[in-house]
Amino acid sequence: MEILVNLWTGFVAISAFTPILMIFIGVLIGILVGVLPGLSPSIGVALLLPATYNLDPVSALVLLVSVYLSSNYGGSITAIAINTPGTPGAVATTFDGYELTKKGKPGLALGTSLVSSTIGGLIGTIILIAFSIPLAKVALNFESYEYFSLGIFGLTIISSLAGDNPLKGFIASVLGLLLVTIGFDTQLPFSRFTLGIPELSDGIEFIPALIGLFALGEIFYSIENFSILKKEHKARKKYSAKLPPFKKFWSFKKVILKSSILGTIIGSIPGAGGTIATFIAYNSAKNSSKNPEDFGKGSLEGVAAPESANNGSVGGALIPLLTLGIPGSASTAVLLGALMIHKLNPGPELFTKQPDIVYGIFISLILANIVMFFFGMIGNRFWVKIIAAPKSLVYPIIIALSFIGSYFIENSMFDVGVCLAFGILAWLLKRANFPTAPVVLGLILGKMIEENLRLSLVKGSFTEFFTRPISLLLLILSLLSFFSPYIKKYLSNRAE
């Protein structure tokens, strides 16, 4: 009952002109932030932070969480339209989303992404409202051993990502893991493998590398096959903006539900984050799907799973922030700053002393999801038009956008070079039939694996990876996830 009273307090707190306006503005800006490569959710939230100084605390936080939420959706739009994840969390969406676009059905992918993002966001918020205290305990119990095992679990997804050539997938992922060791050592104050280049002393900037691997790599590859592409384009002049029918969504309700919950839980673990959640959700959807062979070839489930996990992770990431005052991700670190600026101390006290703010955030998240859905519906028609424009007109613009996006992050020309280098790398990999997604997975997980492995070895001993229950469970899951594609193949071969 108390929770209903609190929710009502929250509802009252935000039912004023300014907070509602902030939701609309926040969602709109958030989608734009997501769409532009280079602007990740955390950068978007950070950029808007100064604009909130003169707002009241509720409106300020409502604006920032709306941006955070909807930028996670916005990233999927470019992932689907041009194979460029607008945010790191949208990498897994490219696997099937862009395939659908290539088949002339971007409407299906965009619609699925929007619906599953919205549902994922709502489920994440509901879990945040109802279970934040017990989930915070889970998060609190994650030590370096568990983080390491989670990282290993994330890596095993390659066996199902790599498709018909797992060896090349593994090589690509090890390449990512090795490249991410460049830069500041995790325990001693010195930089490894920098060749004396000062810009590398903090490692390769992730987002330019990501943009290069996906946007530039794809463009180089398709320009090489331009004559073929042109024919295809002519044959399918009409890109369909048609949304999937409702029945279709109902058929994968389980995938969306499961992925949203997974996203929320993994999102609630500080430092793990939404991006890892999207990969794990994608993998688990593939493993439990009736048509796993469609994954990577334009499966709607393959779009729904990462997108619902990604937006579910927003609610999750707010759990440690609000209950423990611990930011779990780059975006929530900025939100913590916003709380501090408005003199709010996150923690259990905040829930009891200022329920209007905490529950105001909760209610605004629900509203922001709904607003996001409507803006998304309007936007989808527009995106399909852009997709239908001739490639020779769109490609140069995407290249220029990739460069300015890379430049923007640190105001650095070096990052523009990183983007180009990774673009060339992706092109070489693609034309030799190597998948590029595992490189990204390696780049994402490498730091987490190394940092926590080494921290664990300093703290304790190797055996603790196997004696701690959550860590052991994750390692067993890793084994299962790693071998499941092969076991399945073996079983189906035997059945035949």
Partner 1 sequence: MKFFKSINIITLLIILAYMSLLFHIYINPEMSSVYPSRPVVIIVHSKPGSGVDLMARKISDIIRKKNYSTVPFVIENRSGTQGVVAMQYVLDKEPDGYTMLAVTKSFLSTLMVNKSRVSIEDFKFISAMLFDPEAIIVNKNTTLKNLKDIIMDAKKKNGEQVWIGPGTGGRDHLMAIKTWEKLGIKAKWIDYKTGPQSVLALMRNEASVYVGNPIDIRGKENLKIIAIAAPDRLQNLPDIKTFKELGYELNEYMWRGLAFRKEVDPEIIKYMNKVLTKVSRDPEWLKYNEEVFALPIYMETKKISRLIQDEIVETNIYLKKAKLLKEYIKKAPLAIWLAGIIIFLSLLLLTLIAVKFNIRKINQDMLMSMLFIWLALFFFYQTTQFSIPSDLNITDPAFVPFLWITLLILLSIILFIKALNRPYNKKINGSGNIKSVLLIIILLILYFFLIIWIGYFIATVLLIAAIMNILNYRIIPMILISSMGFVIFSYVIFELLLKIKLPVGRLLS
Positions 127 through 166 that interact with partner 1 (CB under 8 A) = 140-141, 143
Stretch that binds partner 1, among 43-51, 76-84, 286-294, 303-311 (CB under 8 A): 43-51
Strand (E) or helix (H) holding 133:
helix 106-140
Q: Which is nearer to partner 1, 185 or 293 (CB)?
A: 185
Q: Which is nearer to partner 1, 50 or 469 (CB)?
A: 50
Measured from the CB of residue 404, what is the shortest distance to partner 1 in angstroms?
Answer: 5
Token pair recorded at residue 86: 């607008």
Q: Which is nearer to partner 1, 114 or 425 (CB)?
A: 425
Q: If binding is defined by CB under 8 A, does position 4 make contact with partner 1?
A: no
Q: If binding is defined by CB under 8 A, does position 469 make contact with partner 1?
A: no
Interacting residues of 2 by C-beta distance below 8 A, sequence separation 6+: none
What is the Cα–Cα distance from 419 to 221, expressed in whole angstroms?
Answer: 15
Token pair recorded at residue 104: 């002339």
Q: How far is CA 82 from CA 94, 279, 407, in A?
A: 9, 20, 20
Q: Choose, by CB under 8 A, the member of 95, 206, 252, 408 that binds partner 1.
A: 408
Q: If binding is defined by CB under 8 A, does position 411 make contact with partner 1?
A: yes
Determine how β-strand 191-192 pairs with β-strand 183-184: antiparallel
Q: Which is nearer to partner 1, 225 or 288 (CB)?
A: 225
Q: If binding is defined by CB under 8 A, does position 61 make contact with partner 1?
A: no
Token pair recorded at residue 359: 């529950």
- Per-residue binding string, partner 1, 417-456, x by CB under 8 A, is x--x---x--xxxxxxxx-----------x--xxx-xxx-
Q: Choose, by CB under 8 A, the member of 338, 426, 441, 474 that binds partner 1.
A: 338
DSSP string covering 203-263? ---HHHHHHIIIIIHHHHHHHHTHHHHHHHHHHT-----PPPPHHHHHHTHHHHHHHHHHH
The interface with partner 1 within residues 258-297 (CB under 8 A) comprises 270-271
Instruction: Please answer whether residues 359 and 318 qualify as being in contact, where contact means their C-beta atoms are separated by less than 8 angstroms.
Output: no
Q: If binding is defined by CB under 8 A, does position 247 make contact with partner 1?
A: no
The interface with partner 1 within residues 163-202 (CB under 8 A) comprises 167-168, 170-171, 174-175, 177-178, 181, 184-193, 195, 198, 201-202
What is the Cα–Cα distance from 122 to 314, expressed in whole angstroms?
Answer: 10
- Per-residue binding string, partner 1, 386-405, x by CB under 8 A, is ----xxxx-xxx-xxx-xx-
The length of the chain in residues reads 496
Stretch that binds partner 1, among 16-24, 48-56, 97-105, 284-292 (CB under 8 A): 48-56
Q: Choose, by CB under 8 A, the member of 340, 473, 476, 480 that binds partner 1.
A: 340
What is residue 216's DSSP assignment?
I
